[in-house]
Each structure stands twice: as C-alpha cells, then as structure tokens.
Structure 1
C-alpha cells in the first residue's frame, strides 16, 4: 500500500510493508542497482521524514529507512523489543525487498541498532557508518539537564518546545540559525508516548563494548565536536574499539546530518565507494 504523503521527494517512495505480522512504514530511495543499498536507522522518536534531506542528497545510492514500531506511521509492537529484535525485523524486511547485502548507518539511538545489526548479521552488513552515537549504557554522558530534555517525548509532540530547546540539546549550527530549527520541526510527526518509551526501554542495559572488537566491517565513525547529547569522547571510544574503523570529526553539533545533509552525504558516499581496507 503506497503512502499518500504529498511531501515525499522525487525518487523516494513510502509504503506500508507487513514484516511477519508487524506493519512498518518504509521509505525506499531509488539508485544504482549495482551498489549495495544503505539501510538507515533513525534516532529515538524520529519519523522517516526527518531523513528526507539526507536521502535527497545521496547521488547514486539506494537507501532504506523505516519508522520503528510506535514511531511515525508504524503501529505499536505487540510486545516490548530489544535491539536484537529490531535487527532481526530489519533482516526480514530486507528479505521481503529481496536484498541480500547492505551498508548500514545509524544516527544517535539508531547507531546502537546499527552496531547490533552489524554484529548479528555480518554476512549481510558490508560496511558500517556510526553517526553521533555511543556504545550504549557505557557511554560518556552529556550534561544532565540536556539528557532530561532529550528523554522527554515533548520535543516531538510540541514543535514550539522543540524550537525552544533545539540549540541547547543539539548544539552546532542550531545555536545560530533559527531557520534550521524551523525546518527540522516542520518535518516532525508525533510519536506515541508508549512508542517513545518502548524505544527508551529497548536500549536499557544494552552495550556494545564487550564485542566491538569482533566487528569486521570497515567502519566510519562520525561525530560533531559540539554535541551536547553525545560528547565526542564516545566517537573516539568507538573508533578505538572497532578494529577496521576511521574517525571523522565535524565542526557542528548532534544533528549535522540535518544541518548539512549534502556534506554528510558526500562524506558517507565517499566512504562507501572506497576500496576495501
């Protein structure tokens, strides 16, 4: 069933797909069939529309992005889930789409899910991109007042509240350009309280530290130098623990994927086209 959202950019289709009993709202960007698609995982509470600016800047790469259960247009899951559950659900989605190999990226909360997918399905995940993310509960935390605002679903249900706190929680370009905040808020769709809480609970107690050293995929770790939510020390830790990794620091905040989608897309596509290390 096709999505009727009139704001979907050219080259992207949005549809509802039944993944073994769980309906998922999925965005699929067209591109070169000879290249592995990019499977993307969004941040907590983020609907797939928030990824459209980045998707439209990809020049030749197919991409897949979906609303996790209880977020955006995907209905709630019948049971609580863990990162391993969502990784398995993503694998089943790829099977439905007849895709056998992908590159995987994850932003913030979605970065944990990307790490889990790479560990769980090393034969499917060719390369890994970790953006503004951490190792889970073992992370170097941001400031308590910033984390308390981030943990509230109000930033996704109240656009005025989002505008009032965006500079404080996201840092970087949001600090000096109100138009960026307005554009980001315009793309938001409210998540349910239950869906947001389910995402928070999914990562409770989860950490990738014990097994990051076993990841074989070439990995790009990218972080903003002015990230109040997930300080840059977390990216440095990821790059140190993942054997075949490279660290790139961006002079921006937590959501440089949103504030400068073209530069981010260029960086990621360049990494994906590199020869194997």
Structure 2
C-alpha cells in the first residue's frame, strides 16, 4: 500500500482462472468500481477520479490491457463480468456502485444481470446494448476501435488482446435482459458521439427500469480531461441520490436531460 498525498492507494496483481489481472484500490468512502473502455488501461480514469472525493475507487486492467497480460483464449462478455466480480472479491467488497465506459459499459450491463447483488447503483457512459441496438452500431464497433486506439498510451498490450475484446463485443447483446436489471441506472452520453450515437443511450434508458438519461455537450470520449468534470458531477449527483433516479437537470454544468 502507498499513499499519494493523503489518498490511500493499494495496487495488486489478482490471479483468477489462470489470468493475472492488475487492479488498484484508492481512497476511502463508498466504493465505486470503474470499468474501462476497450483500449484503455485503468490509468485512463485519472482525469475523472481527480474530480471525485470521499469514495473508494476500484479499477482494473482487463486481459491484454495495461499491466494485465493477454488471455490465451478470448473471454465472453460474461467472462469479463466474472472478472469484475473477482476484482470486487479481491477488494473485499460485497457490493459497489459501478460505472462503465464504452466497452466497459457493456461489461457493466452484463455484471448487473449476472450478479445483481454486487451492484448498488449503475452508471453507463457512452455505451450501448450491443448487436441490434441501432443501425449504426455495427459501424461503431469498428470505428470505435480505430478511434480509441489512437491514444497510444492507453493501447492494448498486444494486438491479440484487441482482437479478443472485439470478438467478445461483436456478437453480444443485452437487449433481452435490460428489463431485468434491478440496479438504479444513469445513462450518460455525448450529444456529438459518432462512435456510439445518442440513440443507443436512449434505448438503454427506455428499456432499463428506473433509468435516467443525461446528455453532455461532448463526443464519445467522456474520459478526456475536458469532459471529466461534467461526467463526475452527473455521476456524483446520481450516486448520492437515495430515492429512485430521476432525470437530472444540469444546465449549470453543461448537462441536458431527456
């Protein structure tokens, strides 16, 4: 364990099902599990987590990303969700709020379906329900890989990892179980998102019970520093709510709600 300023930071290598998974637990307070986008390591959350206070932040690198070696065989989306459960176990958490970005948002949906008792409140950022979401979703899978891979410091450890993740998401769909998600849910997307257009988020918000939708004046990459504050404010407002989620009015922060 180390400390950055006054913040507790604990990094570890988790061994699960023959995989070595790099994970980190930082801070103190109610736990929030962050699940990365397809080509992103856990370091990509830094602009966002700097905007949060009073929370235990749990992050991890999926196989083939950051400090986690690649898997020999591809994981299904259920397999990725099972890894998230293993990370919660390793952190000693029976339950946590969960925020997933892009590909991580798909994993978060699967997690909320497969292990509903482990998810408190759910935030789905710039993501979709997968195959059959909207006509543009097929193009988004490929264009999203290309767009996100431009961030060299956040790329996969190897090309095979990218292929495995692409295969997992290419045939996956949550459309059949969205109505069974019990976690209060906030769906967030950028109005200028051309990778996963806002229509995808509207599908999620309409099909998930007790879901809200917030639109940000942004593109796809809500992890960028210039969007981190708005995303953090929307997420914090929702996560701190003790009643059923409602549409969040956030004009002071550049937000719009539908």
Match of residue 219 from structure 1? 185
Q: Distance in 2 between matches of 1:8 and 1:193?
A: 36
User: Which of 94, 116, 126 lines up with 1:122 in the alignment?
Assistant: 116
- Residues 141-168 of structure 1 show CA distances to partners (whole Å, capped at 9, x for unaligned) of 549887644334x963xxxxx3xxxxxx
Asked whether the 8 Å contact 1:135–1:238 carries over to 2, the reply is: yes
Q: Residues 112, 189 of structure 1: CA spacing in aligned structure 2 closer, same or farther, 3 A cutoff?
A: closer
Q: Distance in 2 between matches of 1:143 and 1:243?
A: 22
Match of residue 27 from structure 1? 24
Runs of 5+ unmatched residues, structure 2: 245-258
Determine whether 1:230 maps to 2:201.
Answer: no
Q: Distance in 2 between matches of 1:124 and 1:261?
A: 26
Match of residue 255 from structure 2? none
Q: Please list, as runs of the form range in 1=range in 2, the aligned pairs for 1:69-218 lying within 5 A after superposition.
A: 69-142=63-136, 148-152=142-146, 156=149, 162=150, 185=151, 187-218=153-184
**TM-score, normalised with respect to structure 1:** 0.80
**What is the count of residue pairs matched by the alignment?**
242
Match of residue 50 from structure 1? 44
User: Which of 263, 269, 272 lines up with 2:230 in the alignment?
Assistant: 263
Match of residue 172 from structure 1? none
Q: Residues 236, 9 of structure 1: CA spacing in aligned structure 2 closer, same or farther, 3 A cutoff?
A: farther
Asked whether the 8 Å contact 2:39–2:145 carries over to 1, the reply is: no
Q: Residues 239, 146 of structure 1: CA spacing in aligned structure 2 closer, same or farther, 3 A cutoff?
A: closer
Asked whether the 8 Å contact 2:97–2:120 carries over to 1, the reply is: yes
Asked whether the 8 Å contact 2:66–2:157 carries over to 1, the reply is: yes
* Aligned-partner SS, 1:260: helix
Give the superposed CA RMSD.
2.5
**TM-score, normalised with respect to structure 2:** 0.85
